Amino acid sequence: MVISRFAPSPTGYLHLGNARTAIFSYLFARHYGGKFILRIEDTDRERSTKEFENMLIEDLKWLGLDWDEFYRQSERFDIYREYAQRLVESGHAYPCFCTVEELEEERKKAEEKGVPYRYSGKCRVLTREEVESFKEDGKPYTIRFKVPEGRVVVFEDLIKGHIAINVDDFGDFVIVRSDGTPTYNFVVVVDDALMGVTHVIRGEDHIPNTPKQILIYEALNFQVPKFAHLPVILGEDRSKLSKRHGAVSVRNYREEGYIPEALFNYLCLLGWSPPEEGREILSKEELISIFRLEDINSSPAVFNKEKLRWMNGVYIREVVSLERLVDEFMPFLESAGYKVDRDYVKRVLEKTRDSFDTLKDGVERLKPFFAEEISYSEEAISVLENETSRAVIESFLQKVQEVELSGEKVKAIAKEIQKELGLKAKDVWHALRAVLTGELEGVGVDILCDVLPKEIVIKRMLKALQFMG
RNA sequence: GCCCCCAUCGUCUAGCCCGGUCCAGGACACCGCCCUUUCAAGGCGGAGAUCGCGGGUUCGAAUCCCGCUGGGGGUGCCA
């Protein structure tokens, strides 16, 4: 069976890049009917927080991901301790008593000499007696993995292909910190092996770590999994997508009114493309059935907010059901301070969902449907100041009294007024629009009248007349 | 510095493995027209890539080989 995992560290909000990694890893597992594991990598006790962990989980669920197993590394320290012990006993690792200061010194010297830095291996040659006596003195120590010399680690990456790295490039690395907590390169191996992970799917920034991990797999006699390193996501300036590029967390997009399925869909298209050309709007189910690691592009992709926006619009106007859209939209109306009836919102959205790209934009555009009081823009005011506008409004008020209000009716009335007053269609509509929406652009006056209660329409007319004095 | 990865329209990409059907296809954005009471949406059309550069191999290269350049990533008692 295929087993993949997503292993975020709870040190911040779920980043778009990580979200995409999670999605690919998830799609892969589901495609093969395998298992998907979520593992919180919180071995760095300094930077990890429970709050971030909760938000990570919340965001992953919001995106539509689910997992079969859940682990938290901070709860598995006993396991790591045991395997670290084994490595020491088998001679693959050793205690190192060097202080941070000493190491800093080594690094500085290397830099001055212009040679690439790697740990000197000083403590590698400590005798048993020396080690014992240091320990008795209570000297803090780390445990380092002994990197074999002259070894070239080779692996076939499922995305990048053949990769060979000479491990002489890095020195013995720390697997257990002086405070007893294990480090990433070590725990990731122990966990992936123990959890039976068959495919390690992660960002390409992990490629340099891979040989170190393979060395540990071997030392522990674990079976080495397959690796698939995803290209990174870049910002507009082609550097790794980060906070300085603006909104880069899943949460940002959630708050801006993006539909989770749209974000999910868009993220999939960064670095991956469906085998069937031309179809880009794909549901989670479709993605699961067609997703293959082989179709992942090996070059980095620039995140394009415009296209995400467009895609979100597609989801709003034609993909999600009306009920779903209402559910998604309600919270945005509430946080904008509108107290409205769900049924009313549904009637509004049914006619207007094709005119905005994000829920937040929707709130703005649909203001005339929800706001108690509307305010006039400068352009609207200048229209209201037109002599003809008063006549239009007065006539409209009179004609609307005896009829049931609807978009069709309003069209008929507008035409009548136009004829009676000898105006251009534009003049009539502009006046009505200014009165009803306070703007000269936006939703159609007819659809506005289709759902807006008649008394509100009348109220706005009267208010306008009053405004005109 | 050293190590690693990458390179097709502005952006995401198809094609590259198995050279010719590619004077390179699709999508977003852009431009124009249509629809129209406005803005969107929608429909139709357009512009946009000498396939990073230079060498090879070949009758023929975006596709194979080599070099260069550019970009990105890594180089932690972070993950």
Which tens digit of pLDDT belongs to each residue from A306-329?
999 999 999 999 999 999 999 999
For chain A residues 251-270, those near strand B by a CB cutoff of 7 A are 269-270
Average pLDDT across chain A, whole number: 94
Q: Say if A224 falls within a structural domain.
A: yes
The answer on A170 and A200 residing in a single domain is: no
Give Cβ neighbours of residue A199 (< 8 Å, ≥ 6 apart): A2, A3, A4, A25, A28, A158, A225, A226, A227, A228, A293
ipTM score here?
A: 0.95
**A235 CB less than 7 Å from any atom of strand B:** no
Q: Say if A225 falls within a structural domain.
A: yes
Residue A17 belongs to a domain with what CATH number?
Answer: 3.40.50.620
The answer on A362 and A309 residing in a single domain is: no
The answer on A313 and A326 residing in a single domain is: no
Q: What is the pLDDT of residue A113?
A: 80
CB A155 within 8 A of CB A129: no
Number of domains into which chain A is organized: 4
For chain A residues 56-95, those near strand B by a CB cutoff of 7 A are none
Q: Give the residue from A153, A176, A199 where a domain finishes.
A: A176
Q: What share of chain A in percent tops pLDDT 90?
A: 84
The answer on A399 and A432 residing in a single domain is: yes
The answer on A214 and A87 residing in a single domain is: no
Q: Say if A238 falls within a structural domain.
A: no
Residue A200's beta-bridge partner residues?
A227
Residue A210 vs residues A79, A127, A186, A226, A351: alpha-carbon distances, Å: 21, 31, 11, 11, 54
Catalytic residue list contains A351: no
Q: What is the pLDDT of residue A106?
A: 86
**A99 CB less than 7 Å from any atom of strand B:** yes
User: Is the confidence at residue A277, as pLDDT, over 80?
Assistant: no
The answer on A268 and A229 residing in a single domain is: no
The answer on A267 and A168 residing in a single domain is: no
Report pTM.
0.94
Q: Give the residue from A134, A157, A176 where a domain finishes.
A: A176
The answer on A315 and A459 residing in a single domain is: no
The answer on A122 and A49 residing in a single domain is: no
The answer on A117 and A91 residing in a single domain is: yes
**Strands in A33-137 per DSSP E:** 35-40, 69-72, 93-96
The answer on A151 and A205 residing in a single domain is: no
Q: Which nucleotide, over all strands, has the C1' atom closest to the CA of A41?
A: B79
User: How remote is the C-alpha of A253 from its chain's centroid?
Assistant: 7
Q: Give dist(CA A359, CA A344) in Å, integer.
A: 16
Residue A300 belongs to a domain with what CATH number?
Answer: 1.10.1160.10
Q: What is the pLDDT of residues A143-174, one digit of tens each?
A: 999 999 889 999 999 999 989 899 988 889 99
Q: What is the pLDDT of residues A80-116, one digit of tens each?
A: 999 999 999 999 999 999 999 889 888 888 878 878 8
Give me the amino acid identity at A333: L
Q: Residue A459 belongs to what domain range?
A: 322-467
Q: What is the pLDDT of residues A232-266, one digit of tens each?
A: 999 988 888 888 888 889 999 999 999 999 999 99
User: Is the confidence at residue A411, as pLDDT, over 80?
Assistant: yes
Residue A411 belongs to a domain with what CATH number?
Answer: 1.10.10.350
**A301 CB less than 7 Å from any atom of strand B:** yes
The catalytic residue among A50, A243, A307, A419 is A243
A323 CA vs B55 C1’ separation (Å): 62
The answer on A463 and A326 residing in a single domain is: yes
Q: Say if A23 falls within a structural domain.
A: yes
A300 CA vs B70 C1’ separation (Å): 14
Q: Which nucleotide, over all strands, has the C1' atom closest to the CA of A152?
A: B3
For chain A residues 144-203, those near strand B by a CB cutoff of 7 A are 160-166, 169-170, 173-174, 177-179, 183-185
* Residue with tokens 């415009």, as numbered in its chain: A306
CB A18 within 8 A of CB A214: no
